[in-house]
Amino acid sequence: MVLYDVPAPAKINLFLHVIGRRGDGYHLLQTAFRFIDLCDSLDFETRNDGLIVREGEHLAGLAEQDDLVVRAALALQKSTGVTQGAQIRYKKNIPSGGGLGGGSSDAASTLIALNRLWGTGLTRSELMQLGLSLGADVPVFVYGQPAFAEGVGEVLTPLSLSERAYLVVQPAQSVSTAGVFSSPDLTRDSPSVTMSVFTDWQTINAADKGLESIPLFGRNDLESVVFAKYPCVSEVAVWLERQGYNARMTGSGACFFVEFSTLEQAAVHQQQIICKMLDRESENAATVQKTWACSGLFDHPLRHWISS
């Protein structure tokens, strides 16, 4: 059996506050996740020999033991006792080290797809628990809808969000998540907020139909650490501000997003940035590697592949 073109969407953190740290070193967060239609794509084919075999142009330099797709498949095999294997081919569109959750999304789509292909029958909550062993962001992709997240990111409450589009900007630099969270300069004492404060903010701004670029709630507490450690990311932040954009870094970086009311607006501003990138005399333009105009998703495309 085969599943073709299984999507693994990127996520953005609409805000990200670090409110504390547990005794085991994990950080306590509050954040809002939203999926966007920038996606990796995976193909799955069953194997009778039990092996997990991967294919893809991006695999050079990525050891199997570090590949979340392989780890997800092996974890599902081990937890269910299934004897089947899988041939997995995937195409990466989400940049690594960009704060867009590409690796976590690939792992979640692998769990969901192989649960279906192998007929292992795990529920959403069981797959989320399995995903948490792979990484803190994996459960939200299995959860399958925009979410207000607390704890280390695994305590999820569904969010109802307005139709929005996003201009995503990738600096010519990737960021190590572990290095950011281990930094002694990271503040871990942001005050806790309730989900209602965030949703009220969203409702107020959704009611203003005259807005093009949307004001953003809260902040990303990781920005100051990333800007200090990664000059290229900091330069892009300054450059976007000079262009008049209310941009925010997503996750632990390096990518930024600007929120718009419509995809058409995001695409217009994307073209403006591309034109400035092509102008070699434009200040800091060369530090921008790539841009995307994306729609915000109301659900993960595989949400209904799992029984709740």
Alpha carbons 161 and 151: distance in angstroms, whole number: 21
- 271's CB contacts (< 8 A; 6+ apart) are none
In what helix (H) or strand (E) does residue 40 lie, and over which residues does it extend? strand 27-47
**Residue 11 is a catalytic residue:** yes
In what helix (H) or strand (E) does residue 18 lie, and over which residues does it extend? strand 2-21
**What does the DSSP assignment read for 118-178?**
TT----HHHHHHHHHTT-TTHHHHHH-S-EEEETTTTEEEE------EEEEEEES----HH
Alpha carbons 139 and 168: distance in angstroms, whole number: 23
Cβ pair 19, 36 in contact under 8 A: no
Point out the catalytic residue in the list 5, 137, 200, 299: 137
CA atoms in the 13 A half-sphere facing the CB of 186: 26
Cβ pair 44, 6 in contact under 8 A: yes
Beta bridge partners of 290: 170
Alpha carbons 226 and 176: distance in angstroms, whole number: 9
Sign of CA dihedral 119, 120, 123, 129: negative
**Residue 137 is a catalytic residue:** yes
- Tell me which residues are annotated as active site: 11, 137
